[in-house]
Amino acid sequence: MIAGMRKISLIILVICAGSIFAQREEITIKVDTIYTPKSTKLKIVKVWSVPKFILHFNASYNSGSMELSGHNGGFSLADFSLGKTFGARHGFGANLIGKLPLSKKGNFWLDIIAGFDRFQSNLFASNTEEGKVYYNSFNGGIGAEYNFTPTHKMKYYIGLNPLVSVISGKSQLTNPDNNRIDVKIKSSVRIGYSAFVGFEYAFEKSVGLNVGLKFTHANLLLKKSEVAVQESDANSTMPLNDAAADEIQFAGWKQFAYFSGSVGFSYFFGVKEKRYKIPN
């Protein structure tokens, strides 16, 4: 009996001892001291500066206007000989333009322009029964441009420039008796202007795409007509013959005017990206 009581007491003692240990463990649990930092939102915006210089290259399709637009799409020997039109209608060209900002804000720009345009009577038209003609115009000018959004990706502009053109060419005239006469159009200097509108899309900081439309009146000043100099039976040379002169063959009051639609690439130099923190 006594032995049984001792066993029971021992079991109770062990259980009690166990509970004492448990109480000790509870005491040793530390308070959770993990620090959770308070999060803040940081708003940063990137802003591009005005380019220090823009190099703009484009290629264009030209559509003749006024006397630079032959009729019914073909070359007419009679119109050309009478000086009614230049005989050509469509053309193409290319321009290289350097643009310098005139103010810190970058709205006003000085444009330095060099270009080449070619017009052909047989471009997009195959009617060469009466002959054909082509003109090459090397031109250049210095102009002014207003850019509405110089710090944006989309830079939208409008401008105007005086233009000096050196226009030359050659015509091959086929008479009704199938005799061919070549008339060389010697280099003629003319002064005119171009008005243009377009945009440049900077797809990254230094490179972009440009699209534009331009009207050019190349021979506003210095129109001149002279009698063609016959060098042989089948060859003669004359100037552009764009001034009114009824008595001179190939001469007439003619405007070397055309519209151009262009696309190309622009390179933006000196653009810096600044990052600004927006205050909370």
Partner 1 sequence: MNKRGKFIIRIILISVFLQFACMAAFAQDDISPISKKDTFYNSIADARIINMIKPGKAPRVTISLGGSYNIGHLDLAADDNASFRKDDFESGRNFGTRYGYGGYITGKFAIHKEGNVRLNVTAAYNRFLSNFVISESPQGKVFYNVFSGALGIENNFNPDKKAKPFVGLDLVVSMISGEATLISDTAEFKLKIKNAIRFGASVNLGFEYAFSNNAGIQLGYKLTYANLIGKESKTSTNPSETYLNDEKVTGETVIPYAGWKQFLYSSIFAGVNIYFGMRNKK
Asked if residues 77 and 174 have their Cβ atoms less than 8 Å apart, the reply is yes
Asked if residues 65 and 260 have their Cβ atoms less than 8 Å apart, the reply is no
Nearest residue to 138 via CA among 167, 180, 109, 103: 167
Q: Which is nearer to partner 1, 108 or 215 (CB)?
A: 215
CA distance 199 to 206: 15
Minimum distance of partner 1 from residue 246's CB (angstroms): 10
In this chain, which of 30, 38, 104, 274 binds partner 1, going by CB under 8 A?
274
| 56 touches partner 1 (CB under 8 A) | no
How many residues lie near partner 1 (CB under 8 A)?
43
| 197 touches partner 1 (CB under 8 A) | yes
Total residues found in the chain within this entry:
280
Residue 5 sits at φ, ψ, to 5 deg, of -65, -40
Minimum distance of partner 1 from residue 147's CB (angstroms): 10
Q: What is the largest CA-CA distance in the chain?
A: 156
Tokens of 69: 């637009």
Using CB under 8 A as the binding rule, the residues of this chain from 87 to 146 that contact partner 1 are 89
Region from 28-36, 132-140, 170-178, 247-255 binding partner 1, contact rule CB under 8 A: 247-255
| 79 touches partner 1 (CB under 8 A) | yes
In this chain, which of 215, 220, 226, 249 binds partner 1, going by CB under 8 A?
215
Instruction: Give burial (CB, 10 Å; 0-12/13-18/19+) of 83.
Output: buried
CA distance 261 to 276: 39
| 67 touches partner 1 (CB under 8 A) | yes
| 278 touches partner 1 (CB under 8 A) | yes
- Our CA angle for 56, 60, 62, nearest 5°, is 140
**Interface residues with partner 1 (CB under 8 A)?**
42, 44-45, 47, 63-67, 69, 71-73, 76, 79, 83-85, 89, 148-149, 152, 154, 156, 158, 197-199, 211, 213, 215, 244, 252-254, 259, 261, 274-279
